[in-house]
Structure 1
Amino acid sequence: MQETSKPQEIRIGIIGLGGMAGEHVRHLSKLESVRITAVCDTNADAVEKFSSKIGLGQVQGYTDYAGLISDPEVDAVLSITPNDVHYRILECCMKHRKPFMTEKPFTRTYDEAFELYRQYLPNPLQGMVGFSYRYVPSFRYARDLIRGGAIGTVRSVFVQYLQSWGIPMFDTPMNWRYERAITGTGALGDLGSHMVDAARFMIGEFKEVAAHLNTFISRRPDPKSGGEGTVDVDDFAGFVALLDGGVSGVFQTSRNAYGSGNQLELTIHGDLGTIKVNCEKPEELVWIRPQSELDNPGSSVTEARRVPPKYELGQMQDFIDMVRGRVRDELPSLVDGYENQRVLEAIARAAGERRTIALSEIPSPEEALKGAN
């Protein structure tokens, strides 16, 4: 019997040792021939405690991300940081040609996204942006059903992503997610970026948007000062959009929705049926369709369908496969991150200028380069 060759070992460096780092390490630990060789955080104590807690053994610790990225013992970088350092870390990864996975949103601002994409175009590098809901089995199944014509021509999509941790009764204090200088936008970039990606993933590109942003709670207790801090980002984002194929979209997101846990859900309406998915029910897809082709159009059946096992794929597995050279069509790439940030920019402009913004009003680096030639 021929032995199966062991896959190439991938040595990972992790930047940012907050709460999500432990979750990513847990998933990485299940993968074959993957080893964490370096960790980085601006807090030296966090570096020491993290290394000790997860039992990494011999691991190099850094408080400077550039040192980790340039380390010859690091093959790929996992960046789990606040938004204001995404740009610098990814720029450094491109300089040292280190494949990466970065958290969403791609960058804090569109200007940063534009510049990263401009650097990427002449010398592409494999990278993943953390749009984790592409790895919800029901979302992947829905995508295939829609592309296969199961609900006919798609006419509209409704997307909402609701959480509740920002409501007054929880007395949530100031943190970086409430500071524009660090985060860029509030609920829009934090949760809305996932909504935009889910729509792009299942339906297609955005063509135009109109939007409304609102801040419900403008002052919050500030642990740093002992007083109050000013919230200068949105608590709520709502927008309507036109997507590829003339599909109409309605979107809302809030971190102040009482009773919501982590509720990202989509309803996609087509001429032949409707599909509903919810990240809180990852193994189930709801399909509303005629009972048979001969039925009266008003006679329908609502089926809660179990997702086939083939749609199971872990995000960390896809990341490691990417580093090894296997890049799946569904992988959220650097280009997806850039296009997502472009849509977020259009939404922010639409809300600020109180008008519909066409995506064509936001020129990409590719368009800028064509115009220069």
Structure 2
Amino acid sequence: MNNYRIGLIGLGGMAHSHMRWMEEEGRYTIVAISDVNEAALTERGEQLGIPAGKRYRDFERLIADSDVDAVVSVTPNNVHAAIVRACLLAGMPFLAEKPFTRLFEEAAELLTLYEQRPVNGMVGFSYRYTPAFRYARELVREGKLGAVRSFSIQYLQSWGAVPNHTPYIWRFNKDITGTGTLGDLGSHMIDMARFLFGEFKELSAQMRTLVPERPVPATGRMVKIEVDDFVSFQARMEGDEVGIFQSSRNAIGSGNQHEVSIYGDTGTLHASTLNPDQLIWIREEAPGQLVKAVIDVPERCKVSQYGDFLTLLDGAASDSLPSFMDGYRNQQIMDAVIRSSTEKRTIRL
């Protein structure tokens, strides 16, 4: 089996997790790094034993490095499109963090380039690798719930809630993020719906900014917040399943609560990040007799994100892998959510 030489772009907080996940697979070696922060380059370079000549302030130079087999990009949203574009132009395989781009217009430009110069790419919709969600998908596809009629998906966090006195950080800067909760958490909800049920047909949405101002840490000056910290929408999928979606960063008591409930003719499934190795299955065992069981997820559903990235690099990508086109479709649906909320109407996809 091949080992792959990785160029890592972005050395912030999430990079720690990506480095750990790569190390767990045992087939990745980070050989080059890039960041605009010189101090981070030096610190991480020394930690990883990266020579000075492989520490790049300019990510395009890293992507052009002939010693790099694939790129992992863990950056703020405003550079996602530029990094993917550079990878497409260089023919460089990549794993890029979500959301796919900051704006849908950027995604549309990338699609045009991708159709001309296709490259193996993966988008970091990491919750496809939560075992309970994978097992739920398997049970739905096997018809264990009969016809699925409806579902609900929510993704709740609490770090933005008023009692936490959360200051103004880059995630509240529209120029960097494009959207707030929608791109940060809602993109995962959208991907989960597509992972489970296929494409969206139509949706109707509302987006709100619940906390209108936040203080700048250095000065205490209050800054107006122009991105959403709550989003909800309802949608109809290609199989006519109807779904309800809710996401907030202001949900007190929710640490990282991403969950789905699926309602079929013969049963109901509940799966959540709060209990990733089990799901709840409610079904009729005999006429009029409901059974609620906690089901352990089988080992075959315990697939890692970086294990799946290896299948892409090995040339045998699995059908569960979130590809370039999954990133594009996700951005397209987020754009529909924005338009629906702004124009106060149902959007057909």
TM-score bin (small chain): over 0.9
Indicate the residue corresponding to 1:70 in structure 2: 64
TM-score by length of 2: 0.97
2:246 alignment partner, one of 247, 252, 265 = 252
Q: CA deviation at 1:57?
A: 4.9
Task: Quote the offset at 1:247 in angstroms.
Answer: 0.6
- In the alignment, which of 217, 227, 231 is matched to residue 237 of structure 1? 231
- Contact kept in structure 2, 1:161 and 1:252, CA below 8 Å: yes
Answering whether residue 33 of structure 2 is matched by residue 43 of structure 1, we say: no
| Aligned mate of 1:346, from 332, 336, 341 | 336
Separation in 2, partners of 1:326, 1:48:
36
Show the counterpart of 2:308.
318
Correspondence 1:100 to 2:94:
yes
Partner of 1:228: 222
Distance 2:344 2:225 in 1: 22
Show the 5 A alignment for 1:304-315: 304-315=294-305
In structure 2, C-alpha distance between the alignment counterparts of 1:167 and 1:31, rounded to whole Å: 36
Which ranges of 4 or more aligned residues in structure 1 deviate by more than 4 Å?
none
Q: Give the Cα separation in 2 of the matches to 1:123 and 1:171.
A: 46
- 2:349 equivalent to 1:355: no
Give a deviation string over 1:155-184, Cα, whole Å, max 9, x none. 001000000000111111111111111101
Q: Secondary structure at the match of 2:336?
A: helix
Distance apart, 1:33 and its partner CA: 3.4
Of 106, 110, 131 in structure 2, the residue corresponding to residue 112 of structure 1 is 106
Contact 1:173–1:222, Cα closer than 8 Å, also in 2: yes
CA contact (8 A) 1:220 1:228 kept: yes
Aligned pair partner of 2:74 in 71, 80, 92: 80
Q: Deviations over 1:105-129 (max 9, x none)?
A: 1000110111101111122111000
Is 1:332 the counterpart of 2:322? The answer is: yes
In the aligned structure 2, how far is the partner of 1:105 from the partner of 1:252? 17
Matched-pair contact (CA < 8 Å) for 2:89–2:117: no
Are residue 281 (structure 1) and residue 281 (structure 2) matched? no
Q: Is the 8 A contact 1:36 1:56 kept in 2?
A: no
2:133 is aligned with 1:143: no
Corresponding residue to 2:163 among 166, 169, 176: 169
How many residues in Structure 1 have an aligned counterpart in Structure 2?
348
Match of 2:206 among 206, 212, 237: 212
Q: Deviations over 1:142-161 (max 9, x none)?
A: 10100000000000010000
Give the partner amino acid of 1:303: A
Structure 1 residue 132 corresponds to structure 2 residue 135: no
Q: Deviations over 1:200-226 (max 9, x none)?
A: 001111110101111011111113554
Partners of 2:100 and 2:89 in 1: how far apart? 18
Q: How far apart are 1:23 and its partner, in Å?
A: 1.1
TM-score (norm. length: structure 1): 0.91
Aligned residue type for 1:358: R
Q: Which AA in structure 1 matches 2:207? A: L
Moved more, 221-230 or 75-84: 221-230
Q: Quick one: distance in 1 between partners of 2:85 and 2:277?
A: 37
Alignment partner of 1:13 is 2:35: no
Determine the C-alpha separation between the residues in 2 that align with 1:126 and 1:83: 20
**Structure 1 runs not aligned, ≥5 long:** 1-6, 360-373
Counterpart residue number, 2:17: 23
Q: Per-residue deviation at 1:323?
A: 1.4
316-325 vs 234-243, which moves further: 316-325
Report the equivalent of 1:3.
Answer: none
What SS does the aligned partner of 2:228 have?
A: coil
Corresponding letter in the other structure for 2:141 = R
AA at the equivalent of 1:260: S
Amino acid at match of 2:252: Y
1:44-80 superposed Cα distances (whole Å, 9 cap, x missing partner): 1101111223x34547111111011001111100000
Q: Quick one: which amino acid aligns to residue 311 of structure 1?
A: C
Partners in 1 of 2:202 and 2:294 — Cα distance?
33
Mark the runs of 5 or more structure 2 residues left unpaired by the alignment: none
What secondary structure, in the 3-state scheme, does the structure 2 residue paired with 1:253 have? Answer: strand
SS of 2:211 mapped into structure 1: coil
Helix, strand or coil for the counterpart of 1:85?
helix
What SS is found at the alignment partner of 1:245? coil
SS at match of 1:150: coil
Q: Which has the larger displacement, 43-52 or 339-348?
A: 43-52
Residue type at the aligned position of 1:190: D
